[in-house]
Structure 1
Amino acid sequence: MMMDYTLFGDVVCFDTTYRINNANHPCAPIIGVNHHKEIVVFGVTLLYDETAASFEWLFTTFLEVMRGKQPITIFTDQDAAMAKAIAKVFPKTYHRICSWHLFQNALKHLGHAFRKSNKFGADFKSCMYDFEYDEDFINAWDSLLEKHKVRDDKWCMNIFEERIKWPMAYGRHAFSAGIRSTQLCESFNSRMKCYVKPRFNVLEFFTRFEKLLDDVRYQELESNYEMRHFKPPLKMNVPILRGARDVYTSNIFDLFQQEYEKSLGIIVQTCIEDPPLYEYKVCVYELQREHKVIFNSEDKSISCSCMSFEFVGYLCSHALKVLDIWNIKVLPSQYMIKRWTKHAREDCLLDYGGKIVKADPRQIVSNRCKDLNRNAVKVATRTTESEDASIFFARKILELSLEVEKFFTKSNKNIDDGSSNSMDYGHECFSKCGQ
């Protein structure tokens, strides 16, 4: 888990809705996403209660275990005690409220507004997602309050005070891996129900939880296998997509390819030139919403007002359109962040003493076994379609088993030689001590 957090702990989701044992104590996973944008587990906690003191102890302990590394962004539900602890323990972390939980709370507290107008929900979601600048959000929020007559509602006043934590107008600048909610935790909790039962004691819980972790890690192993042996299809055979496919993991490449497709429908409306800076106003064909893209012709840097790169970690369709205008056919390396690439796990990690942290040997052996089994079964299944192929395969298996045994014969010989030398050295020391 420490290795996973070092590599992918930039974004964390934390949720306490899952309950365990008859006392109904919260079981809270601490999770994120790996380079395939699949669930990765950083830890789990069994809490006695949900007070600010308990959360503070939890986050402090977690921070110590993870060598003081604070996440860039953490997603939680709208809980005051949790927020207090996060502000104290993770002062450098951007705390975001889960968009799904926020909307559910809106349904709960503003039910009268939802019932009165079928447009209230759409207007509320527009405030959550649609604006790039804080002043635009504030204007839209003020319009919502006036239009639906909820200006004096206490809940609306409270969430406006917390606006830095939920509308996208305040969240685009911080890397969040494209995450907006704790739905990852909900998905993980659903899986956990298949492994962990409320009647389990603590020992049974962690035994079964380890099994769940093994299966989560095996899912990444499968994705790594697919990544190494298969390439996702290109929808267009263009250099920028070919290059991106070679670097990104398959899931991230698919998302990037979607952005490239969207770029084909982008229209450039205006361009203000102030070399080396060029400011473009762009919009999607037949839509009025504008985005501002700034390109630097000297260092080939680019930024967009939608801040998609800052938020999700790969370039948006608006930026790709401007790069194409400048005939840049290869994606600049500074816009391929390593955590989304095939090489995300290649870094050496250090422990408290500065020594390299190695993966669990048992996990390495297990992964080897699963990988080799998969390949062997595929070949064996194929050979059963032909008697000659089956005979050939059986003969090669026998030959291969004899060759493999040679590796262990060499290892045993080296161990025997080493043991003999050690015994001689020990006998020599004993003799000298006797003298």
Structure 2
Amino acid sequence: MENIPFTKRALKTLCGKISSEQADDDVRKTIEVFSEMGAADPEFTYSVQVDDDSRIMNLLWTTGKGRAQYHYFGDAITFDTTYRTNVYDMPFGLIVGVNSHFQSAIFAGVLLREEKVENFEWVFREFVKMMSGKKPVTILTDQCRAMEVAISNVLPATKHRWCKWHVLRKAKERLGALYGKNSQFKVDFHQIVNQMLTKEEFEGAWLQMLSTYALEKNPYLYQIYETRHKWAKPYFSGIFCARMTSTQRSESANHMLKTYVPPGSAMHVFVKQFNKLLYDRDSEESFQEKRTRLGGVVYKVGGPMEKHAAKIYTRTMFEKFQEVLYKSASYYIDELVPGEVYRASHFDSGRREKWYKVEYKVLVHNGYYTCECGMYEHMGMLCCHVVKVLLHLRCTEIPALHVMKRWTVDARDVLPLHLVQYQKDQGLVTSFSFMHSQLYLNCMEVVRLGDVNVDAYTTAMESIKVLVPKLKLVAVEGEGWDLSRG
């Protein structure tokens, strides 16, 4: 040590200076990446919160595509900040939803310095502001207490539940060998988490599981049972989640990002990799859009209701409806009160576990069907019990009240108020002048041609960006013209 020409304090000061210079350079590079994104996407926006020393505390950004997706599919979102593999050990989060093809739709990216209540409050306030004030109906998160408090403060009307992916991951950590690869306990536990539809089923299956494996005094299982209303499907009755609670759907940000963001990444690398993730998601969505448009549907039953579903739903959701239709064949219907109350009973009731529910009551009121399993309210698609009742009543179509637009081929046909008359499901109820009709027809031709390929889209958008400012100028100069008419 006596031969080293500097002290420990000098070395510490030098390292601190180098670290500070690297962080400053990283911020500069991150802002440069944001500038590039803004130049390519006029709708791109970001928000930064700094501390008293002008250091970044929190960072939130979204793209034009993310804002548009949120407009259509922002009713249920997940927010996950469990990914920390970066040079600053800062939590990185994604705000994600699910689109009409049952794919993850990324709405925004978030970097936090700390997972504290005030940090999360800032994120939720800024996110709602970026999304023009629209608040989600439901939000799914991990079991972070600070996030729970922030949601109750900033989004009091939003329903907050836990993402099932995190519940299962915690179970794997806390239960050890009991939750092993070939464990029968794991099979039973997953069945309770994923298959139970009613509270009676859940309670019965849970008690049997504890008794079978002598786990009545297991502290972890006791803890999650006490909080079951936050994660168990039967306790989500009436809460729309777009089926994101299922394990196949509940991809965490951690799960998505680890294949894109290398360990020890700087902030600007995070943002660049975020763009790659968005690009891949857009490619997958484009594939599903083409798959829906091309048709070629394979019918399993061939009945009129299945054909109606093929016309209205995207291909992925139509296939999920086919699964429901297939399951409905396992039930028979009893009319308890004609036109009002029905009972769907399972054929193989004797072969099931004693806690399995085999009879479901379906109520009908003013054309709206309510099943005690609550699947429509939870997911937005009819359950097999209601479908069986509809078939029993010889219905040839899915009732309009039970066609949730977010799952249909017209999910994005949601226009501003001054253009709402053009929506397919609204009907063209207004008569227009010759000029208006000609403008509309030519604009639709621009949309049709601009959607052919990327080059056509780029050319169309460049022309529109030049044309709109010119039209605004002429319209303002026009005597008595009211721009609010659209």
Q: What is the TM-score normalised by the length of structure 2?
A: 0.66
2:219 paired residue among 150, 154, 171: 154
Q: Secondary structure at the match of 1:254?
A: helix
Identity of aligned residues (%): 31
Alignment of 1:379-418 (within 5 A): none
Please give the alpha-carbon distance, in whole angstroms, between the structure 2 residues aligned to 1:137 and 1:280: 21
Q: Secondary structure at the match of 2:110?
A: strand
Matched, 1:343 2:432: no
Matched, 1:329 2:396: yes
Residue of structure 1 equivalent to 2:285:
220
Please give the alpha-carbon distance, in whole angstroms, between the structure 1 residues aligned to 2:70 and 2:99: 9
Shift of 1:340: 0.5
Please give the alpha-carbon distance, in whole angstroms, between the structure 2 residues aligned to 1:342 and 1:335: 15
After superposition, give the CA deviation of every residue in 1:66-117 in whole Å (9 maximum; x if it has no partner).
23333222222222222222232222222222223212322333347658x9
Residue of structure 2 equivalent to 1:304:
371
2:275 paired residue among 210, 218, 240: 210
Q: Secondary structure at the match of 1:25?
A: coil
Matched, 1:291 2:359: yes
2:89 paired residue among 19, 24, 35: 24
Matched, 1:229 2:294: yes
After superposition, give the CA deviation of every residue in 1:364-387 in whole Å (9 maximum; x if it has no partner).
x99977733699xxxxxxxxxxxx
Shift of 1:220: 2.4
Please give the alpha-carbon distance, in whole angstroms, between the structure 1 residues aligned to 2:403 and 2:129: 31
Please give the alpha-carbon distance, in whole angstroms, between the structure 1 residues aligned to 2:331 and 2:304: 19
Q: Secondary structure at the match of 2:289?
A: helix
Matched, 1:101 2:166: yes
Q: What is the TM-score normalised by the length of structure 1?
A: 0.73
Q: Residues 195, 127 of structure 1: CA spacing in aligned structure 2 closer, same or farther, 3 A cutoff? A: closer
Contact 1:13 1:182 (8 Å CA) reproduced: no
Residue of structure 1 equivalent to 2:27:
none
1:272 paired residue among 333, 336, 339: 336
Residue of structure 1 equivalent to 2:309:
244
Q: Residues 326, 366 of structure 1: CA spacing in aligned structure 2 closer, same or farther, 3 A cutoff? A: closer
Contact 1:16 1:28 (8 Å CA) reproduced: yes
Q: Secondary structure at the match of 1:302?
A: strand
Alignment of 1:122-133 (within 5 A): 122-133=187-198
Shift of 1:240: 0.8
Residue of structure 2 equivalent to 1:261:
326
Q: Secondary structure at the match of 2:91?
A: strand
The one-letter code matched in structure 1 to 2:114 is D
2:186 paired residue among 121, 124, 130: 121
The count of residues paired between Structure 1 and Structure 2 equals 368
1:319 paired residue among 386, 406, 412: 386
The one-letter code matched in structure 2 to 1:314 is M
Contact 1:3 1:349 (8 Å CA) reproduced: no
The one-letter code matched in structure 2 to 1:48 is R
Contact 1:15 1:182 (8 Å CA) reproduced: no
Please give the alpha-carbon distance, in whole angstroms, between the structure 2 residues aligned to 1:371 and 1:211: 23
Shift of 1:139: 4.5
Shift of 1:263: 1.7
Please give the alpha-carbon distance, in whole angstroms, between the structure 2 residues aligned to 1:143 and 1:285: 21
Shift of 1:44: 0.5
After superposition, give the CA deviation of every residue in 1:399-431 in whole Å (9 maximum; x if it has no partner).
xxxxxx9x9xxx9xx99xx99x99xx9xxxxxx
Shift of 1:119: 4.6
CA RMSD of aligned residues (A): 3.7
Q: Secondary structure at the match of 1:16?
A: strand
Contact 2:344 2:385 (8 Å CA) reproduced: no
The one-letter code matched in structure 2 to 1:101 is H
Contact 1:267 1:283 (8 Å CA) reproduced: yes
1:178 paired residue among 215, 237, 243: 243
Please give the alpha-carbon distance, in whole angstroms, between the structure 1 residues aligned to 2:394 and 2:448: 44
The one-letter code matched in structure 2 to 1:372 is N
Please give the alpha-carbon distance, in whole angstroms, between the structure 2 residues aligned to 1:205 and 1:130: 37
2:453 paired residue among 342, 348, 372: 372
Q: Secondary structure at the match of 2:190?
A: helix
Alignment of 1:355-370 (within 5 A): none
Residue of structure 2 equivalent to 1:82:
147
Q: Residues 265, 7 of structure 1: CA spacing in aligned structure 2 closer, same or farther, 3 A cutoff? A: same
Contact 1:52 1:82 (8 Å CA) reproduced: yes
Please give the alpha-carbon distance, in whole angstroms, between the structure 1 residues aligned to 2:448 and 2:174: 49
Q: Residues 68, 122 of structure 1: CA spacing in aligned structure 2 closer, same or farther, 3 A cutoff? A: same
Q: Secondary structure at the match of 2:345?
A: strand
After superposition, give the CA deviation of every residue in 1:139-169 in whole Å (9 maximum; x if it has no partner).
4434444554444443333323312111111
